[in-house]
Structure 1
């Protein structure tokens, strides 16, 4: 009996100890495990991070778009539920009933009841339907409309990034949604002794781009007008700060609305032209050959001369200049101004195949720029084994190789900014939902390719191209624009397509201290002479004129004056008439048309401002006030 009593006592103590362990020590853990078996979660859509421009302007945001969930076990009359919801959702009753009749503890009424409006959700809530729950969901909102669509991309059915920035930074942008936890038994009947719970998620992070919205609007407007005017196949544009590699604008045309991407050809939204498109660069590539020749001192812009008969013979191949009769005797500065192909062949031959190829690769061609933009291509260069005399000659003036627009912009930026090759980048900062910076991106200098002396000479030559050469249509008085035209014949199935060109222009300002670099290319333009100087140069000129104030660029001193040519309008600089009287102006014997405004004799101010360039037919408006000694 004593032994039985001891054993019984030990068993009692063991049971008490186990109860203590379960009820006190392991209580919370066991309760949580039980709740996992009881709970039914109604998800709230994750708040996806926003996308802003460099100044904090909203590009992509979110708007409330609820989603309906139905628990069949909590409502035995799905026919009545379907009948009540059908007119509100604007869908057939049979489709809703089919969804509600599915087996499962909870049915998501999608797509019929997904991303409904707030008004629809409010109307459904008033019906107080048992077993029907409204989950909070969100969908992307685009306050800028189609702007930047081929860069930012779009999200899919479940708000996941499918293209562009949305895809490339999906892990950063996406959040984890909140959840309502309903506790039910195995038959999904609510448990009266357990309160419903709420599980908090995390919002996605905000991506702040280097893009300037106002510059982007100007770029897209100009490209859209060019598409219409020239009936072009497509067009693209890039604006970059050449001192940092920051991309201020990146545009592709035609465009689309990200909320309606299903209605357009996938080739449009899958191809971000400035980084995806590869083509022969044409004469814009001559800037690289020029920089290499100046750096290696194989040419002198002012004291070295070349005779162009209209062609160059290389290994029994006749390579022609765009000007059939040739440019004749010219300095190498004039070679650049005239975009003379034989002249650039001469520079390439003086450099030699090895040095020319080395500089091309140093300037970043043949490899990705590392911009972080989805879909970037590498381009195609000749291999060292295939780089024979003819290939060397054609490469020197931008033919026979394939490059991307962003590679060209990166290379030209290095040629004009003092010789520093910066990696282009599109994301400035990543911030959490409290506005705190998680990660910031700074300019990254990859290497130096030419000296400041060479870069200065390149800037001088390219400013002269705009003042006196093939880029004259990009001239802006006082802004000191430099640049280079490009006209590349398109290659189809390995052969050049007759009459089909990509025309381009790359320009920068101001030439003495470049702050802006603008590249525009128009694919297959019609209704005009297909030259970069005729089509693309004036577009870049207008863009630079409009965005210069946004970048804080004012008129400069020391510009190269535009050379008058037959057919150009005759222009003059406006004299300073402020402070003069009518009599004093009359004695000046000006030939300008002057219109007087006001009752006084003394000129208070004038329009246009002094030193502005006007044509002989323009009018100077002067505004007067009463003088002290009248």
Structure 2
């Protein structure tokens, strides 16, 4: 063996080689068992989840799915009609289509075209329609309500983002016929004024509903379940109003208001025996097709809401009180100057005249203020106040009309010195047109007051009519008193009276003029006049009462010249329309002047 430095030494021996690695395969049975355990665990999780979804929580998820798929739709009930006494429709519901747009869906390039078409078909300003289309942040903009044929023409264009939906629309065939009496319905289908508001629950019925299944895009899924609760249509309301008489009343008072430059006017036509109202007209009247553009003060039915001092039409109550008390008789003589002192006031007669001798019938026929005061002094304040109450002053007439006022009747113990006199001839108390008409209905009906009635009854969809209860009857004065007052009122329409312009050829007419100073808050006192005429015919067999009142006329102001011609026109038309024949009798002579 060589040393380290030597050149011929031998190498050390190599370490022995490692034996080759041997690959040992796992136990197949063990591997399969592990896999089965893992699979069983995973499947058990799925199975548990399925049990939870389909078993334990199934109702929760079913309900959630139903919320997304099932939708409730309202089935609108059809609003009932309002008709006149003969079944003519004054307010009716018709089928319509609501046209709407989804501004986000309307193509920008077609907006001008869409606006042009919609504006033309719907009669809307193009600028308004364009403004709705420009509101792209909204997904729904109502454009207008149209008749079905117009909606069909619009939808035929196939504009994307333009749609229509079924709805009902309220229409008033007469336009302004009985406008303030009927009232109107708002966009939501609810009555907002007049009888539409008062009888809203009766007219509106009850909406129904249905549940339908729809897809993600909102389309209805065919062959799926649909649950429906049918709507109950509203009942029809039949009025006592006669369409033709209403038209004549509106025409007459409207023309007179225009001719005299008056502020307003009202006319009432009433059946003497039943208290049913055949006409209730106001001027200006409300055009129900454009109610939203009409000042709100013209929405009110002035015949029942406007309060005024009645003036000489009130003298019939003083006359009735004097006759009932026995203090005077129709022929009782009065010495009547043309003025009289009451406390600190000197009150003038209706016209200047020398001191004259009048019968009590003459006092009423010539409408003497002074003579009426002299008669009232014989019965006293308390009895006069009581008679005013019995005729309905200070209480609502009971017609049930919206806004009905009770007027003003101060307690007799609070009357001032001058008021003790002025109340006798209709100043110092206030009433409505309907209250005044009711007073004359009472006299014409032999002293029996009947509560005014405007609704005849209701009709269901199958035509079953339910009449309203008849008006309440109340004995106010005796039949003899009523006949004596009637004779005085008939004399008032004669050539000797103040109401001769109300006379009707062939008919006996009883009535009374009224000219009262008008209290106006705008001038904080009395400014202007109220001109009134109210009467009935035929006087010997009364059928109809007609009242005409004109507020603040500028061309004249006496009731006999302003209101009496309106009464004559309306009464003449109503008598002919209802085929009321003349009685053919002549009135008994009434002595106006007293001897000696």
TM-score > 0.5 by shorter chain = yes
Q: For 1:204 and 1:85, how far apart are their aligned partners in 2?
A: 37
The equivalent residue for 1:329 is 357
The equivalent residue for 2:49 is none
Q: Structure 1's 205 and 276: CA in aligned 2 closer, same or farther, altered over 3 A?
A: same
Deviation at 1:231, TM superposition (A): 1.5
The equivalent residue for 1:282 is 311
Maintained 8 Å contact 1:154/1:259: no
| Pick aligned residue for 2:168 from 130, 138, 142 | 138
Alignment map for 1:374-389 (pairs within 5 Å): 374-389=402-417
Q: Does 1:555 align with 2:585?
A: no
Maintained 8 Å contact 1:381/1:402: yes
Maintained 8 Å contact 1:475/1:562: no
Q: How many residues align?
A: 532
Maintained 8 Å contact 1:70/1:131: yes
Map Cα deviations across residues 425-466 of structure 1 (whole Å, 9 max, x no partner): 2111111222212x4213322421101111111111111111
Gaps of 5+ in 1: 1-18, 564-630
Q: Structure 1's 234 and 267: CA in aligned 2 closer, same or farther, altered over 3 A?
A: same
Q: For 1:333 and 1:362, how far apart are their aligned partners in 2?
A: 22
| TM superposition score normalised by structure 2 | 0.81
Q: For 1:71 and 1:58, how far apart are their aligned partners in 2?
A: 37
Deviation at 1:479, TM superposition (A): 1.2
Q: Structure 1's 82 and 34: CA in aligned 2 closer, same or farther, altered over 3 A?
A: farther
Deviation at 1:202, TM superposition (A): 2.2
Map Cα deviations across residues 15-49 of structure 1 (whole Å, 9 max, x no partner): xxxx99x99xx9xxx99997665333555654211
Q: Does 1:212 align with 2:242?
A: yes
| Pick aligned residue for 1:478 from 497, 506, 522 | 506
Deviation at 1:518, TM superposition (A): 0.3
Q: For 1:195 and 1:86, how far apart are their aligned partners in 2?
A: 39
| Pick aligned residue for 1:469 from 482, 488, 497 | 497
| Pick aligned residue for 2:370 from 317, 339, 342 | 342
Three-state SS of the structure 2 residue aligned to 1:137 is strand
Deviation at 1:171, TM superposition (A): 1.1
| Pick aligned residue for 1:67 from 86, 98, 102 | 98
The equivalent residue for 1:599 is none
The equivalent residue for 1:167 is 197
Q: Structure 1's 185 and 131: CA in aligned 2 closer, same or farther, altered over 3 A?
A: farther
Deviation at 1:275, TM superposition (A): 0.5
The equivalent residue for 2:289 is 259
| Pick aligned residue for 2:323 from 278, 294, 303 | 294
Deviation at 1:100, TM superposition (A): 6.7
Q: Structure 1's 32 and 550: CA in aligned 2 closer, same or farther, altered over 3 A?
A: farther
Maintained 8 Å contact 2:254/2:283: yes
Q: Structure 1's 398 and 306: CA in aligned 2 closer, same or farther, altered over 3 A?
A: same
| Pick aligned residue for 1:318 from 346, 363, 379 | 346
Q: Structure 1's 146 and 165: CA in aligned 2 closer, same or farther, altered over 3 A?
A: same
Deviation at 1:120, TM superposition (A): 3.1
Deviation at 1:134, TM superposition (A): 3.0
Q: For 1:428 and 1:31, how far apart are their aligned partners in 2?
A: 53
RMSD between superposed Cα atoms in Å: 3.3
The equivalent residue for 2:148 is 118
Q: Structure 1's 465 and 196: CA in aligned 2 closer, same or farther, altered over 3 A?
A: same
Maintained 8 Å contact 2:102/2:140: no
| Pick aligned residue for 1:47 from 78, 86, 96 | 78
| TM superposition score normalised by structure 1 | 0.77
Maintained 8 Å contact 2:309/2:427: yes
Deviation at 1:389, TM superposition (A): 4.2
The equivalent residue for 1:239 is 269
The equivalent residue for 1:454 is 481
Map Cα deviations across residues 181-218 of structure 1 (whole Å, 9 max, x no partner): 54225674654662667653222211111101111111
The equivalent residue for 1:14 is none
Maintained 8 Å contact 1:504/1:522: yes
Maintained 8 Å contact 2:541/2:583: no
Q: For 2:461 and 2:197, how far apart are their aligned partners in 1?
A: 20
Q: Structure 1's 527 and 316: CA in aligned 2 closer, same or farther, altered over 3 A?
A: closer
| Pick aligned residue for 1:524 from 552, 561, 564 | 552
Q: For 2:191 and 2:303, how far apart are their aligned partners in 1?
A: 20
Map Cα deviations across residues 141-179 of structure 1 (whole Å, 9 max, x no partner): 222121111111111122211111111111111134566
| Pick aligned residue for 1:421 from 444, 449, 460 | 449
Maintained 8 Å contact 2:77/2:205: yes
Gaps of 5+ in 2: 1-53, 120-125, 591-596
Q: Structure 1's 377 and 46: CA in aligned 2 closer, same or farther, altered over 3 A?
A: same
Maintained 8 Å contact 1:240/1:246: yes
Maintained 8 Å contact 1:416/1:455: yes
Q: Structure 1's 83 and 526: CA in aligned 2 closer, same or farther, altered over 3 A?
A: closer
The equivalent residue for 1:628 is none
Deviation at 1:385, TM superposition (A): 2.9
Maintained 8 Å contact 2:393/2:406: yes
| Pick aligned residue for 1:545 from 561, 569, 572 | 572
The equivalent residue for 1:582 is none
Q: For 2:113 and 2:136, how far apart are their aligned partners in 1?
A: 13
Maintained 8 Å contact 1:52/1:60: yes
